[in-house]
Amino acid sequence: LTSAVVARYFALDGDVDDQDGHTGSGRKRAASGQKWREFRPLEPAFPTAGNTPVGGSNSVREWFTLPAASCLAFTPNAASLVLVTRSTDELCAVALDTGKKRWRCKLEQDGDASVSAHAMAVSNQPIGKLGYLIAIGCSDGRVRIHSSEDGRLLFVCPCVSSKSGHPPLPARLAFAPGPDCKLAVIYTNNQLTEWSLLPHSEASRPEEQRADESTMEDQTAGKTLRGTLNPWLARFWRVMGEEFSTAFGSIHSLAYLNAQTWLMASDRYVIQLKKGSYAPGGIKKRVSDGSKPELDSCFLFTSQFESILQVNALNEHELALVSVHSAAIAQRLTAPLQRKFFGL
């Protein structure tokens, strides 16, 4: 494989012309000899035993294509495939058992400006009758949260402020493991935020005030969810944000190591962040001289890797890391917001 072919694999848009003038999808269709049809409402999106092309034998199945998607993810119960169409910016859910579309909705627009999606995450646990929560990072700087049951909008995480006056974009989203529904968002300015999400009926109970990360200073009510912002992360960013970005570079991968620890990666660094102590100059000192962290330090990091594309937690003691050990490939990679990620 050439460097260009490997780099193209990680790009979201795989329809690159080859020497014969066929696109990537066209080559696959020509090679298989299968008949393809566009995805339509109430039509199977995947092959079924009863679908055969005209003039074909019963052993050949007819395939139905999904529309080109800017984001896609499976629900944890393997019941649905959720995607955002690239051409219309619609959020769709397809039932995996029947191959039929369950629902489709348009992303809410910001005034007259159209909104596109470039990041998606699905909660690990269903939230009562709301089903799984689908978080969509949008081009207006907001994160919209929809229900997997019917696609309705439940909550909108507002834009974060920046010195430039232009809101940074949500680059990566991740839901915490465990029963508590927490959504972490890393933005293109490296700011990390976390929202605790509760149904309104549960959010109104006194038991909500059970931990300081659930007792938030800033909060925004949604249509059927209540979101509360993590104040520790907000304070950490105000004090350490510029130093963090200077030391580690642009963060383009986000996951949870456990419910209390965030796992991030830049081009060279893998970073663990949790609630703990910090002081101005602490990150710069540890990165420059390799000094050991204090016992109550809020972060750990390693720089043993290069050209990191993605990091994820298999469990609290094992990490999965994707990196490229070739400068020829690394130079051809698309920007993180247009890059294909593993673990869908």
pLDDT in tens, 242-301: 999 999 999 989 999 999 999 999 988 999 999 988 889 888 888 887 777 777 789 889
What pLDDT score does 21 carry? Answer: 41
Of 185, 343, 180, 332, the C-alpha closest to 258 is: 180
* Contact in structure between 43 and 55 (CB atoms under 8 Å): no
What are the start-end ranges of the H helices in the chain?
3-9, 24-32, 200-203, 231-248, 282-289, 327-330
Banded model confidence at residue 7, pLDDT cuts 50, 70, 90 = confident
What pLDDT score does 166 carry? Answer: 83
Residue 132: phi and psi, rounded to 5, are -75, 150
Question: Which pTM value belongs to this model?
Answer: 0.75
* Contact in structure between 126 and 110 (CB atoms under 8 Å): no
The mean pLDDT of 35-58, rounded to a whole number, is: 42
What pLDDT score does 186 carry? Answer: 95
How high does pLDDT run on average in the chain?
Answer: 77
The mean pLDDT of 97-114, rounded to a whole number, is: 82
* Contact in structure between 340 and 9 (CB atoms under 8 Å): yes
Q: Is the pLDDT of residue 111 over 80?
A: no
What pLDDT score does 120 carry? Answer: 94
316 vs 53: which has the higher pLDDT: 316
Residue 106: phi and psi, rounded to 5, are -85, 140
* Contact in structure between 197 and 155 (CB atoms under 8 Å): yes
The mean pLDDT of 136-161, rounded to a whole number, is: 93
How many angstroms separate the CA atoms of 225 and 235, rounded? 24
Q: Is the pLDDT of residue 305 over 60?
A: yes
Q: Is the pLDDT of residue 217 over 50?
A: no
Of 211, 192, 171, 198, the C-alpha closest to 71 is: 171
Q: Whose structure tokens read 């190591």?
A: 257
Q: Counting every residue, how long is the chain?
A: 344
Banded model confidence at residue 342, pLDDT cuts 50, 70, 90 = low
Q: Is the pLDDT of residue 56 over 50?
A: no
How many angstroms separate the CA atoms of 123 and 118, rounded? 17
Q: Is the pLDDT of residue 203 over 70?
A: no
What pLDDT score does 287 carry? Answer: 86
Q: Is the pLDDT of residue 155 over 80?
A: yes
What pLDDT score does 15 carry? Answer: 44
User: Spelled out in words, what is the top-level CATH class assigned to the domain 5-12+67-201+222-331?
Assistant: mainly beta
- The alpha carbon dihedral of 33, 38, 42, 46 has a sign of positive
The mean pLDDT of 177-189, rounded to a whole number, is: 93
